[in-house]
Amino acid sequence: MEKKEYRWNVEEFNSLSNEILYKIIGLREQVFVVEQNCPYLDVDGKDIEAIHLYLQNKHGEIIAYARIISPNISYSEASIGRVVVAQAYREKGVGRILMQKAIIFCLEKYKTDIRISAQQHLERFYESLGFSSTSEPYLEDGIPHFSMLLKFSNKHSE
């Protein structure tokens, strides 16, 4: 990926343009609802409180996205969710860079642990980023998940 062709953005909800918000929701629905065949209510009220981290290509398409939630909204810890990479950009390291950027943002802004609800098939990926499973598998919207935690003290001392 040439850097000039891509742009990372970090925005609060009120800073998102209608067009960008539309593209974000479109990507989330394409992956989570259509590809994963999982009807669920994506608009859950948390986007308004979230920080939105996304990657755009030179055509303005959103190709990767993560929603960063401050502590005491989803969990007592900060959280990262709605992590998604457009199909054409998977297996190219984009998801890892997305999560690394989201983790750094959380640790610097909130200085607390980070909790995620990870799809079971991605457990090893999240472990490679420093997360540890804190639950047995459970179903969320019909898909097996694990609760996972990244300790602030572990990452902060590195």
What mean pLDDT is predicted for residues 65-71?
A: 98
**How confident is the model at residue 65, as a pLDDT?**
98
Higher per-residue pLDDT: 154 or 18: 18
Q: Whole-angstrom Cα distance, residue 133 to residue 145?
A: 10
**How confident is the model at residue 42, as a pLDDT?**
87
When pLDDT is cut at 50, 70 and 90, the band that residue 157 belongs to is very low
Convert 117-132 to b/e letters by CB count within 10 Å (16 or more is b). Answer: bbbeebbeebeebbbe
Would strands 78-85 and 114-119 be described as parallel, antiparallel, or unpaired?
A: parallel
Q: Whole-angstrom Cα distance, residue 46 to residue 82?
A: 11
Q: Are 8 and 64 in contact (CB under 8 A)?
A: no
| Mean predicted lDDT score pLDDT of the chain | 93
CA dihedral over 95, 67, 74, 44, signed as positive or negative:
negative
Spell out the SS3 assignment of 16-40: CCHHHHHHHHHHHHHHHHHHCCCCC
Q: Whole-angstrom Cα distance, residue 121 to residue 111?
A: 28
DSSP state of 109: H
**How confident is the model at residue 141, as a pLDDT?**
86
What mean pLDDT is predicted for residues 123-134?
A: 96
Q: Whole-angstrom Cα distance, residue 128 to residue 116?
A: 14
When pLDDT is cut at 50, 70 and 90, the band that residue 2 belongs to is low
**How confident is the model at residue 3, as a pLDDT?**
58
Q: Which domains does the chain have, with CATH numbers?
A: 3-156 (3.40.630.30)
Q: Is the pTM of this model over 0.75?
A: yes
Could you report how far apart the first and last alpha carbons of the chain are, in Å?
A: 28
CA separation (Å) from 37 to 75, 101, 108, 141? 26, 28, 35, 10
Residue 1 has pLDDT above 70, yes or no: no
